[in-house]
Amino acid sequence: MLTFYPCAPEVERSDCPDGPHFITEPILMSTTIRPMTEATASTRPSAVVSDGVGCPAAIATPFPREDCMVGGCKRFYLVQEGDYCTKISEGAGISLGDFYEWNPSVSRDCSDLYLGYWYCIGTTGPATRISTPFPEPTW
């Protein structure tokens, strides 16, 4: 109950003084069976992260994605042909260390970077998906 109220501020605590209540009336269920369809990127459930109060935040994590991606990622990048870790971090304006920290399954030699997968490039700012290639870094 402690996390319920911050997540549902429209519910007054006085409306539920004794805690949650349950309805015990029978519920009619449909017996219609629908065929299953293959999930696509647009129909797969997205990852849910917390807003720090315990409430789910509505950030849709794109798929396919890097395994073990940090929770709370808000900015994502789709790996393109010719990408490598330094190019991505430079293009996103983040440190290479942050890129590795947010995407722990990517090895330090960048050999585990997969074409067509989404990777985390930011945990702050507005939710963003970048699917166009970054330019080559200039040193």
Query: Over the stretch 87-128, which tens digit does the pLDDT of each residue have?
Result: 999 999 999 999 999 999 999 999 889 999 999 999 998 888
Q: Where is pLDDT greater, at 133 or 109? A: 109
The domain ranges of the chain are 61-139
In tens, the pLDDT along 31-64 reads 444 444 343 444 334 444 444 445 445 567 777 7
Tokens 């789709």, residue located? 78
* Greatest pairwise CA separation for the chain in angstroms: 69
Tokens of 132: 């166009």
Question: What CATH code is assigned to 61-139?
Answer: 3.10.350.10
Cα–Cα nearest to 88, from 56, 53, 117? 117
Per-residue pLDDT at 28 exceeds 60: no
Per-residue pLDDT at 21 exceeds 50: no
Q: CA-to-CA distance for 139 and 137, rounded, in angstroms?
A: 6
| Predicted local distance difference test score (pLDDT) of residue 47 | 44
Residues 24 and 10 sit within 8 Å (Cβ to Cβ): no
